[in-house]
Every structure is written in structure tokens, then in C-alpha cells.
Chains A and B, each alone.
Chain A
């Protein structure tokens, strides 16, 4: 009961409600614009969060996350281009249904299933995160090392790309985290005599470069691309028949999405693809999938929004990001001096339940905004790239510069933009780089501290049951994508 009142606290704070409204609105705009999304948007807005108190800052980032994930569906349904990667599966049935003149029905189903998935995942978050945090009390340095390794091996199964390429990208991310003074011995590594590099490479320049600047370069190769937009009269609430057809799918996909979200490094994209394929597998009319099936839309959208709450579970309970966007949220927490983990649950429950509550409210807010404003948000896609991207560049440059007032950060951002462009071009996902960068310090730190505890004996890791379990899970995580590929 006490926790429930803590959760509802944001409802009684006009400041938090305003932050939530702005975050939801901004998230929807970002989600609608192809190429942007909650990860880039979160990274761009991080400098502005410095003017807010820690709770407001995290509430802003989480509301962008929730609304941005849903916003991608609007573009997926109306112009057959996913606004965010997580909405890719929504295109498969959303656009064909819109082409049949039922864009309003498709968007209505996407909105309802997104909200249902989002709320379901917040409930999972409320119950599961404290449980996981309690479990984490048992963790020492070796367990955290094994957990971080498990998180990194999960990178292998991100998206539909090559697992080995994902692992190379993840190792590259960890390598970036080694730049600067070694935290245990203060010895310079890869600093090349540049003073600013002794504190390491910042997270924001890398994220903005890999997401925003590389996308700008990608857009420069797509100037002749023409989008065919389907007209939208109004968003329609699903009919009783639609609810009858989809309620099981929504429930199943919400469960799948929450579970996938909880797994370290996985996120909405994987969740929506699995949610979609499971919806097809269980459907009485699988032949309708790909031709405008309402179940297909519900399956994909419920799953990708359910992953938002799920991904917050390891982020808050263990400090291990559940997705690329939660890596940005984790950075936001750290910038504001909040260390996620079991201690946070014990010492600042009002802070955590404030986040849970605000995620719940964000889901309701994007339902209202999406339902009544989808037509307006769809018009945002009409802003031509030739105007949009130079503006995004200006914000990216100033935002990156603002964090440590260093031009070096801006150049690092541009360099990572170019690296990110070529990575994407040749099938390397950029998400593992981000996760690797976030987990890098944890991996190296816990490994070295564990070796001190074990007196340099590597085999001692195998004597710790929890660590051993994570190592076995890591092996399974590595083998799974290879087996999946073989089965295909």
C-alpha cells in the first residue's frame, strides 16, 4: 500500500506531470521520425537533464523511452518505414491494412496493444525488480563479472545480423572503455598524450555519433527515396470483434516482451520480432499475416512496448542495461549521482517507485496523445530531411560540447558517426558498441578485483555457484544464435 502511494506520487506533482507530458510529446515526435528514436533522443536531451533534479531527469528519459517506442508504429503503418527499429515488425501488417483503407483501425490497435504491453511490463517491473535486487545482495565481484559476461554474450543474438559481427562490435565497445587512466593503477592507456583523454571517452559523444551522425550520413545516401504516405482520417478504437481476436495475442506478446526486455542487452526489436512470429504461430488465420492481419499488429506492438518495462528491470536492479535506450537512462542516472543496484532499492524506494509510477502515467499519456494526435504526428514526417538533419546536427554538436565543454568530444562524436555509418553499411550493429562501452568498466573492474580475491587463480570462478550459472547461461547465449541460424 505504501509502495502504491509512492508510485502515485508523480500524479500529485505538477512539475513531474509537466516533465512527463513534455517527455511523452518529445518521445512521440522522435519515434515518428525515421532514423531518430528514443536512444538518439535520450542522448540528445541528456545535457538538458542537468538542469533538473534526479527524479525529474529520469522521468523525462523514461517517458521518452515509452512514447518513442510506440511512436515508431505511426510511421510504420502510414509510410511503411519503421520510425524505430522496434517497429519493423509492425510494418509487415500495419501498412497492408492501411493500404486497404483501414489506417485508423491499424493505428487504433497499435495504440491499444502498445499501452497494454507497456502497462503489463510496468507491473512486471514493480514486482520483479525488487526481487532481482534482493537476489543481487548475494552477488560479489565474481558474480557481477559473470553477469556482465552473460550480458555481453547476449549481444550475439541482437537483431537478425551475424552473431560474430555483434561480438566484434561489443568487444570494440569494451575496448573504448579502456581508453584513459587505468582506474586501479592510474597508468595511461591509449591516451596519446592528450590530457582530455585521460578521463576516458565519454558515453554521449559515442552514442550521438553512432546514432545521430551516422544516421545523417545514411540519409545522405537516400536522398532520392520517396515515401508513399497513406491518408489517415482518424484513429479508431478497436471494435469488440478486434478485441476478441487479439486479447490472447496481446497478453502473450506482453509476457514475451517483458521477458525479452529483462534479458540483458536485448530490447524492443528482438521482442517485437518474437512477439510477431508467436502471434502468427498461435493464430487461427496465419495465412492473413503479411496481408494486414490485426493480430500481427497487436503481437508486434504489445511486445515492443512490454520490453520497455522489462529492460528497466536489470537496469535498475543490477546496473546492467536491458537495451540501448536503457543504457542512456543508466548514464542519466549516473550523471545525477544515482548508482542503480540493490542499495538503491533499500535507500531510495520513493525514487524508484516514482520512476515506476511515471512509466505507468507515460503509457496512459501516450495513449491519449497517440489517439487524438496521430494525424498531427504523422505530418511531422513531411519535414524534409534537407532541413531536419542540419538542425539535428546543430543540436548534436552543442549537446555533445556542453557536457565537458570540450571540442575534442565533438570530434569524437563526428568520428564515431563515420565509424557507425560504415558499421551499419557492412552489417555490424551499433547497439553492441554502446552496451560494451557501458559494461566495459564493470567487466574489467570486477575481473581484476575477483582475481585479487582469488589470488590470481582463474579456476576459482567455477567454485561460485551463481557465477558458474551465469557462465553456463553465457555459453547457451552464444550457442543459441548459431543453432537458430542452422535451423533456418
Chain B
């Protein structure tokens, strides 16, 4: 029993501090905040005659310092009471995330409607849908309904692209 306990403690101690989730999360927040804080120093400064109260950069600066301080406190508290271990992210998550990137690329360079269709069919397929009729429903029929609805009711004009141009012209 004692051996098991010692082993567990040894394992815990042998983990470098930067492996834990708390460190990674706090590090990312502090790094981004620090970069933004540096950027605030490049904001234009208003001459005293036009300055009302405080400079435009002061408020964001104060917020970023607050975020950095509070995040440091979060990290300090996590050393006292470690965060619970999160499960590893499954493949489906990364596929969905990749589909978001694909959506951005396709909607920017090819076609907005096509981007929605591609994302819908890929996500639905990778999440386990194999029936062709249902795949067609989510990737073509439903987006068409949504498109027409937004176009007619809200008078929305979607960005041009291979398919959207065919619809408009």
C-alpha cells in the first residue's frame, strides 16, 4: 500500500510543471495579453486639449493588466489545488475544426453556399451519418431552404461565387 502511494507521489512529482493544463492555459492567456498590452503602446496619443479624462489606450491597458494579474492568481491557485484532468480530444473534434478552416477557405475563394454544403456533408458523415438521403438533406436541401429564406424574407445578398452567381444571374 505504501509502495503504491510513494509511486503515485513520485509520478506526480516527476511531471514537469509545464505539462499541466493549468500552466498551458495560463501561459496562452498571459502571452496573448502581453502581446496586446505591448500593442496598446502604439495607439495614438491625444493632445491634452482634446483628451477627455483618460487616454484611449489607458482603459484597454488596465484591462489587460487585470487579466494578466488574475490569470497569474489562477495559476498560483492551481498549484495548490490542481485542475481535474480533461479527456483527450477525439478525432471527430479535430475533423470538425478542420472543416471550419475548410469553410473559411472555400467561402472566401470559391463559394459561400458550397462552403456550407461541404461542411455540412463532411461533419454529418464523420459524425456517423451514412444514409445518402439524409446527407443530401443536410448538405443541399436544407442550405437551399435557408438561402432562399434569407434572400426573400430579409432581402439578403450573399457573396458571389460559382454557385451563388448561377442563382443570381
Contacts and interface: CB of A to CB of B under 8 A. Distances in A.
A288 B143 CA distance: 49
Q: State the main secondary structure of chain B at its contact with A.
A: helix
B63 A387 contact: no
A216 B51 CA distance: 45
Contacts of B64: 175
Interface string B134-169: 100111001100110010011011110000000000
Interface in B116-137: 116, 119-121, 123-124, 127-129, 134, 137
Contact of A184 (B40, B56, B138): B56
Interface string B99-121: 01001100110001000100111
Nearest to B78: A162
Given A168-B70, A190-B36, A447-B53, A221 B89 contact: yes
Given A387-B124, A407-B107, A221 B59 contact: no
A426 interface: yes
A411 B51 CA distance: 34
A104 B90 CA distance: 37
B142 A391 contact: yes
Most buried by B among A47, A387, A410: A387
Secondary structure call for the A interface:
helix
Contacts of B87: 221
Interface string A216-250: 11001101000000000000000000000000000
A393 B129 contact: no
Contacts of A391: 120, 138, 142
Given A185-B46, A217-B93, A426-B21, A405 B157 contact: yes
Given A402-B154, A411-B104, A447-B59, A223 B116 contact: no
A189 B83 contact: no
24 contacts: A47-B150, A162-B74, A168-B71, A168-B74, A171-B66, A178-B59, A185-B51, A393-B119, A394-B120, A394-B143, A397-B116, A398-B146, A398-B150, A402-B150, A402-B156, A410-B107, A414-B100, A414-B103, A418-B97, A426-B25, A447-B53, A448-B54, A449-B52, A451-B54
